[in-house]
Structure 1
């Protein structure tokens, strides 16, 4: 039984299945943004996130062991040209060329739909998230419009078309501060949980996100696109893997804490999005949603 998404792979290069093979987005790109422990490459409209975080992988991410990351990092400056082939990423800089060989990398699936989580575990997760009082800690002001949108998201009304979801998408996308605004984090997590259980409303919400011109950051767009295709970050995946394995409440609590530690409020926003989705699912348990047997 798989206990961890990263089991026995800590020394390996890892690539999210969501961006594999990496040359399918194009052969040339540029360094988009650089941070202390990660950098992003933009190829066409797609971001590839490369980091040395051993416990975190985004749905569009590549993990490099720290020794390799530190070897590459001096060659990474914003705007540098990047050449991409099937098994190699080459960065062009004033200091020269530096390549990352990916031939032996482990491809990691972070698709929630592949997990089997029983209704009892989902109800237990809803209880544990409710006890966190997340709504008071998210990065959005609770104005009348936002509160009404949250009630719609958790309500029992079935929203079957992308038009039905347009109001929530327009209001939440880009709302909030930071590289991944709170409204985006809430929606991506919400979509992920609906997709996992096979709720047909997930397809309508995904269509609404696809149809809208998303007024948000490039990094946040990458997370939204990833969620549309069913992928989550590794910490959210680990939470639902623990639920599949019917781990103890203490283990689930620790997984929630790990998610909430992401960014300033991003992790809390993600957890709140999961809670809204769970409230909708559990209120409509008798309706047509899939739990694999």
Structure 2
């Protein structure tokens, strides 16, 4: 414990598991002085750096495409003192959280960078994996936000009957639903994930990027869209696609899908609905 001019400070050392995309493309081993606490939740918190969110969670949980995890003990000590709007200064050696009455300083003791590029798969990989059947059997749709919204179900039915998706339908889905990542966004991101994994023409990606220029949604959804456009995704989705590519057993893929279902209130299931919709067209 050291004495500063106005506050005492407490240093916490933790190993860090971090998205390579975040480490290299956003933090870039530089000093960032204008970082703020954007939002705080029981299982994680977001920092905001120049409009970009950084999600911080606990070791053993999903690593976000734009995030990192800390040792559980350090995470709990840190998050217990955080409030929205607090300032943070990040240097390669020390992250200072301007909490009151004690400043909390995080010392990264070991940095493990995880590559979260979307794995490439083939149509045959996806068909052989029985992923579509698995998603249907775990009742992703029934447990999604779509099951509780007549408007979203109407949009889903329309999507399933369109050969060429009209821009207005995408507009109807962006930001649709409640939560930090609305169900409509999660659905579109599931479709974008399949499009990117197949490495085919990114028609949907171009359409969504166009719509997002003048259609608003939540900051968290924007962060996930940005990661997807850059070809990055959360570790849980990387693991699922790797299992598909490796022709893992149905039991293994089912377990990975069930883990994803626990993400958020309905987000995991909403993304799975998007993936299933994409799979039906291949």
Q: 1:132 to 1:36 in 2, by over 3 A?
A: closer
Q: 1:209 to 1:53 in 2, by over 3 A?
A: farther
Q: C-alpha distance in 1, partners of 2:214/2:190?
A: 18
Contact 2:138 2:258 in 1 (8 A): no
Alignment partner of 1:147 is 2:156: yes
What's the counterpart of residue 117 of structure 1?
121
Q: Which segments of 5 or more consecutive residues in structure 2 lack a partner in the other structure? A: 1-13
Q: C-alpha distance in 2, partners of 1:27/1:149?
A: 47
Q: CA RMSD in A?
A: 2.4
Write the deviation string for residues 59-110 of structure 1: whole angstroms up to 9, x where unpaired: 1111001122133234422211011224432211222322223463111121
Query: Which has a greater percent of strand?
Result: 2
Alignment partner of 1:84 is 2:90: yes
What's the counterpart of residue 50 of structure 2?
44
Q: TM-score, normalised by structure 1?
A: 0.79
Deviates more, 1:77-86 or 1:127-136: 127-136
User: Number of paired residues?
Assistant: 260
Write the deviation string for residues 150-172 of structure 1: whole angstroms up to 9, x where unpaired: 225xx544x6xxxx5x3233111
Contact 2:121 2:245 in 1 (8 A): yes
Q: C-alpha distance in 2, partners of 1:240/1:189?
A: 12
Q: Which runs of 4+ in 1 moved over 6 A?
A: none
Contact 1:192 1:231 in 2 (8 A): no
Larger Rg, first or second structure (1 or 2): 2
What's the counterpart of residue 286 of structure 1?
none
Alignment partner of 1:173 is 2:174: yes
Q: 1:207 to 1:177 in 2, by over 3 A?
A: closer
Contact 1:75 1:91 in 2 (8 A): no
Q: TM-score, normalised by structure 2?
A: 0.82
What's the counterpart of residue 206 of structure 2?
204
Q: C-alpha distance in 2, partners of 1:270/1:54?
A: 21
What's the counterpart of residue 27 of structure 2?
23
Q: 1:37 to 1:147 in 2, by over 3 A?
A: closer
Q: C-alpha distance in 2, partners of 1:236/1:85?
A: 30
Q: 1:183 to 1:241 in 2, by over 3 A?
A: same
What's the counterpart of residue 252 of structure 1?
253
